[in-house]
Structure 1
Amino acid sequence: MAKFAKPESIVNTTEYCGGCGHGIIQRLIAESIEELNLQDKTIGVVDIACSYWSLDALDYDMIAGPHGRLAAVATGIKRVRPEANVYVHSGDGCAYVIGLSETSYAAIRDVPITMIVANNGIFGMTGGQLNLATTLVGDKTVSSKAGRNPDTMGHPVDMLKSFQNYDVEFLARGALYDVKHIEQTKKFIKKGLENQRDGKGFSLIEVLSPCPTNWKLDPVKAMEKIKNENEKIFPVGVYTDRGGVQ
């Protein structure tokens, strides 16, 4: 009989909003690190945004980087501590808008770090503004009150397709709306950490994640939105696997 227990690395509660996907992502990271026995080698990098709550929740060496600059911070850590397993837990506003340059150049240089990016289609911590990379056409935010209009605000962008143009180790997208997809997402995160452990290059795992507070939906309807709307624009699966699917 399977026994399910909280990862030992999670030592404190967090202040995530009810129904937020960041807490699930945090647990998947902790489970993967423990299963790979990397606790003593791990350094986590979190944003001054929603993922910041992991700073106190997880029993790892952690650094909070300036908003959007996590890929650059993680690169610096990896350069001076090459033996460490350095991961980033960020949002899509951090990785794809404010810090698009930093994320892109980490990928271009194939820096051996592992990035986990929550795609919740919005700027969460700063109040729910439109995200140029991930807000769906028609979605209402505090900066697109009538809904995203592609004529003036452009279309969302599948950033994994953009990063496929670079010679990187691993790109994948998971989702959190049911157990099957949570398990798939964990496999992607674990593989990204394994790649780094094994001396391979840049890995980025994007996760379709709910933001009930800023979407103005209850947690169940937020998960349904991911399944019925967001995944159609951002398909889940492996985009790049230089080492081959295992």
Structure 2
Amino acid sequence: MAGMKKPESIVQTAGYCGGCGHGIIQRLIAESVEELGIAEKTIAVVDIACAYWSLDALNFDGIAGPHGRCASVATGIKKVRPDANVYVHAGDGCSYVIGLAETCFAAARDIPITMIVVNNGIFGMTGGQLCLATTLEGDWTVSSVKGRNVEDTGKPFDVLQMLKSMDIEFAARGAVYDAKHIRELKKYIKKGFENQRDKKGFSIIEVLSPCPTNWKMTPVQAMEKIKDETEKIFPTGVFVDRGGAK
């Protein structure tokens, strides 16, 4: 049965914390790439952060770009290797804060890459600091120990709603808190790779993902938080599909 066997592209375990969503996302990437038969021409671009572990775990060519510059690095690779399947696997701090300009300009230029952005509401690898784009109002982080105060930091903002105004190929948001949402997320990720295979434009898939370690929660509590709180601020679904359903 499809999905029951470990993808061949996963060649060793990764160092993600227990309950982290990155491992689920990594598997969905591997399954999608193998099902499309494009593993040999896949190039991963990861941030110097949690997704870095996937360079060891996945048998793809890959590179870690400077912090926050994944979209620019992926753009450069796609320009010199136009037939490659180039994707970004990075966090919200990288893609929506430090690298917001790079993400927006890759979208504005409709670069035919696939960005997978992990929204876990914090800067994960550096200790769990507040992420201006995604930390929810009132949430505790190591840099908002009394909870996020929007009078000081502004409110979280929906980057996909911003990108929606640009002429891009595909934008969607999924989640990993239950099997139904994981199945839906895989469709989005696979669609992003199909768009690239078919010489279409910029695709971005955001993923609502838990970080039990930095949220100071159990894995179960972290998944419940996504369902009960995060998804209300960042709704899942398709935001842009220029090509439409097949």
Question: For the superposition of Structure 1 and Structure 2, which TM-score range results when normalised by the shorter chain?
Answer: over 0.9
Task: In structure 1, give the amino acid aligned to 2:94.
Answer: C
User: Which structure 1 residue ranges, 4+ long, deviate > 4 Å from structure 2?
Assistant: none
Rounded to whole Å, the distance in 2 between the matches of 1:104 and 1:21 is: 25
- TM-score for the superposition, normalised by structure 2: 0.99
1:12 and 1:91 map into 2 onto residues whose CA distance is 22
In structure 2, what is the Cα distance between the partners aligned to 1:12 and 1:114? 24
Once the two structures are TM-superposed, the CA of residue 245 in structure 1 deviates from its matched residue by 2.5
Secondary structure in structure 2 of the residue aligned to 1:221: helix
**CA–CA distance in structure 1, aligned partners of residues 51 and 22 of structure 2:** 7
Q: Deviations over 1:45-101 (max 9, x none)?
A: 011000000011000101111110000000000000001010000000000001001
| 3-state secondary structure, aligned to 2:166 | coil
Q: Which residue of 1 aligns with 2:4?
A: 4
Corresponding position of 1:200 = 200
| Residue 206 of structure 1: how far off its partner (Å) | 0.1
- Checking the alignment, whether the CA contact within 8 Å between 2:120 and 2:134 is kept in structure 1 is yes
Aligned residues: 246
**In structure 2, the residue corresponding to 1:37 is in which secondary structure?**
coil
Deviations 1:116-155 (A, max 9, x none): 0000000000000000000000000000000001111110
2:6 is the alignment partner of 1:22: no
List runs of 5+ in structure 1 lacking aligned partners.
Answer: none
Partner of 1:69: 69
| Secondary structure at 2:130 match in 1 | coil
Structure 2 equivalent of residue 135 of structure 1: 135
SS in 1 for 2:122: coil
AA aligned to 2:177 is Y
Amino acid in structure 2 at the alignment position of 1:244? G
The aligned counterpart of 1:83 is 83
What root-mean-square deviation, in Å, do the aligned CA atoms of Structure 1 and Structure 2 show? Answer: 0.8
- Secondary structure at 1:79's aligned position in 2? helix
**Percent identity at matched positions?**
73
What is the letter of the counterpart of residue 11 of structure 1?
A: V
In the TM superposition, 1:44-123 aligns within 5 A as: 44-123=44-123
Equivalent-residue separation in structure 2 for 1:39 and 1:2 (angstroms) = 17
Structure 1 residue matching 2:171: 3-state secondary structure:
strand
Conservation of the 8 A alpha-carbon contact between 2:111 and 2:202? yes
Unaligned runs of 5+ residues in structure 2 are none
Aligned to 2:148: 148
User: Are the equivalent residues in 1 in contact too, given 2:3–2:31 (CA < 8 A)?
Assistant: no
